[in-house]
Amino acid sequence: MGMKRVAEHWALANACEDERGYGIKVIVMASGLSRRFGSNKLTTDFQGRPLAGWVFEALKSADCAPGNVTVVWHDPDIAVLAESYGFNTCFNPSPEEGQAASIRLGLAASKEADAYMFLTADQPLLRGQTISGMLKSFPAGQGKIMLAAYRGNTGNPVIFDRKYKASLMQLKGDTGGKQIIRQYPEAVVGYEIAYAEELMDIDRAEDLAHLSKILNSDSDRR
């Protein structure tokens, strides 16, 4: 490992966890019911691996410690896959409630942190560089909310300062953290990403076909 790579590794390690053991904890929401897809999309094969495996690989390539990652699951196959990466796992018994349940469970299962990154497991073109870049550049302790952004469009991942933990724990339904983002627009900062497709999630089978074409045409997006 070269000196530059060593420096980058330690910078990211410090972003993920500081000397108090705080830093930024990562929560993967992977317990949706996939109603529009027709079956569990996260276990569906996409280019040779389960769909959720693409996000897990991105987290691995981001070099953040597996112990700082919690995957909220409902399908046991997702728990097995997550644990194979060394991630913490948390069962969601009420996926029908929507994203709010995953947010609350993930926060409760995570250790104390300066901030929390949330991402979904159905964004197969999300890159490790994006995850690591957001973790390293987030201004912890300043009450900010950071969203991945591409030319004015925003989406996941999202990082919330610990200031918003109590509000996140009170969320209900399937709106996720959007209501908190709308409530504090002055706190929102964007992190510009390389490709618009990183923000795309999978809702229907045809979405997989569309992203396959993009992936096959540009290996840099892997």
- The dihedral built from the CA positions of residue 212, 87, 32 and 133, taken in this order, carries a sign that is negative
The answer, as to whether pTM is greater than 0.85, is yes
pLDDT value at position 1?
41
On the question of a cis peptide bond just before residue 185, with omega within 30 degrees of 0, the verdict is no
Angle CA 88–93–99, to nearest 5: 75
59 closest CA partner among 92, 37, 84: 84
Among all chains, which residue has been given the structure tokens 């690591």? 132
pLDDT value at position 161?
98
142 closest CA partner among 172, 116, 163: 163
pLDDT value at position 159?
98
Q: How many CB atoms lie within 10 A of CB 77?
A: 13
Q: What is the pLDDT along the chain (222 residues), one digit of tens a residue?
A: 443 443 344 344 445 554 444 699 999 999 976 566 656 889 999 999 999 999 999 999 998 899 999 999 999 999 999 999 999 999 999 998 889 999 999 999 999 999 999 999 999 999 999 999 999 999 999 999 999 999 999 999 999 999 999 999 999 988 789 999 999 999 999 999 999 999 998 877 778 888 888 877 765 555
Domain boundaries, the chain: 3-221
pLDDT value at position 218?
65
Please give the Cα distance from 65 to 55 (Å, whole number): 15
What backbone torsions phi and psi does residue 116 show, to the nearest 5 degrees? -135, 125
156 closest CA partner among 132, 174, 135, 131: 131
Tokens (6 digits) for 14: 């410090």
Q: Which CATH number fits domain 3-221: 3.90.550.10, 3.10.580.10, 3.20.20.100, 3.20.20.70?
A: 3.90.550.10
